Amino acid sequence: MLARRAAVGRTGLFLLAFVAACVTARAVAAAETLEATGAIEGDQPAGRISRHLYGHFAEHLGRCVYDGIWVGEDSRIPNTRGIRNDVVEALRAIAIPNLRWPGGCYADNYHWRDGIGPRVERPHRINTHWGGVIDTNAFGTHEFLDLCEQIGADPYIAGNVGSGTPAEMRDWIEYMTFAGDSELANLRRANGRDEPWKIPYFGVGNENWGCGGNMRPEYYADLYRRFSTYCNEYSGNRLRRVACGPGGENTAWTRIVMQRAGDRMQALSQHYYTLAASWSDKRPATGFDEEAWFAILRDALKMEDRIVETVEIMDEYDPRGRVKLYVDEWGTWYRNEPGTNPGFLYQQNSQRDALVAALTFHIFHEHAERVTMANIAQTVNVLQAMILTEGPAMVLTPTYYVFEMYKVHHDAQRLPVTLTTPDYTFGDAAIPAISASASRDRQGAVHVSFANSHATQAVAVSLDLTGVNATSATGRVLVADSLDAHNTFENPNRVKPAPFDGAKIADGKLTVELPAASVVVLELK
């Protein structure tokens, strides 16, 4: 296979790894090991990697909120004010920085007054977007913001533009954030919260080109200008108003919204899901072969193209980069698990999804000056979830462990990596076999994350260290024993990180032996 140059700074084309047997069983003979070379430029810092790139998304969809997060105070499942203790503990362990709620498509059909006051008096509504089930509104504003405080995350509220009004949005913000003596602030106090909350992020609509109203960009841009006018800042709260941006390759939407409303927003959203299939005929989450492994990873790499084309348009109307890009929905989207409600979007999560997460984070890191927030879809029991629950049982997914391993990059200084990587070829297509990213934290420690996308071959990586004073490397590896290895309630620890001793530093050079289909994170000392 021919090596090709992949400048980590621009393309972000670093891939993730796949596994065909245990690490020991999968050891590849030296003659078969591929080689990658490059450098970590520790003396050329390139901006900060915001911790908010590691944000999450919890929609009233399937069993994400009900069962996954909220069980109620009377549940036998251990909880604090109705919120599952095991889920809170797991989310705190990955230092979740922000949480987006209540949607998604659900947001533009959600009326916040339904979810306040005594729960027995809250109206029951049909969830028209997701399965036609009844939402009791037991989990509303107070419960969500309690969850954010329990897990230590900043709240990101998605407001209702599709079926709501500017007055409704204005009142919700006052209810949550005003400290003075007003009817809405006093209503909040009557409902149990004296002090106002801080709401740093507020989305003015969601996917308004689709489920949020099927609007034309010109119409949405005018609505954004109107609604955002009433997104007031009270009592020292500072709002970052987020405009609805494109989904997929909708560059016309980006251009018109930026042109007509860019001066009134602090951020623009973008959504991208990894399918490698059609929306009407998605792939299964498990039971796949190498073709499906390769196809999903290749599709995940298109995140780079979507970001580049959006940022290029943003730069035309905002050349100084004041408006940030929030990729506030991303992840894999497969068929629902057999026997489950198709409207609940419940899917398994395998080693392949861990590779998608690692690859995606590396792309975000490369664009960290403009891309400052991202939210995986979704936190519990929906799509590329961190956590799966079944009654009192809880399982952490391979994707969860990537979030946990990559905490070292939170708010760290990005260090450029250049990489000449061999291709991973399947059929007549090829993608870079290796992806890498490096950062220096506030204590001066340097961390390097790698992903080997090749399904069957290890790759030996050699990187020159410039401006990095280190003599040893320690780390962990996430690798599995089959292409679709995943954790179940019967076998919850099949895929989890393990100590890694395949790296060393000598003569100013880091050498690493990356197993096939693996994610590795190192600390250089």
Residues classed as catalytic = 207, 329
What phi, psi does 446 have (nearest 5°)? Answer: -100, 130
Burial class (CB in 10 A: 0-12, 13-18, 19+), 30: exposed
The amino acid present at 442, given as its one-letter code, is R
Determine contact, residues 457/34, Cβ cutoff 8 Å: yes
**Those residues with Cβ within 8 angstroms of residue 194's Cβ, 6 or more apart along the chain or in another chain:** none
The amino acid present at 419, given as its one-letter code, is L
Determine contact, residues 413/91, Cβ cutoff 8 Å: no
Task: Identify the CA nearest to 59 among candidates 109, 101, 115, 97.
Answer: 101
CA dihedral sign of residues 276, 281, 285, 290: negative
- Is it true that the peptide bond before 266 is cis, omega within 30 degrees of 0? no
260: alpha, beta or left? (left if phi > 0; alpha if psi -120 to 50): alpha
Residue 446, Cα to own-chain centre: how many angstroms?
Answer: 23
Cα separation, 310 vs 325, whole angstroms: 9
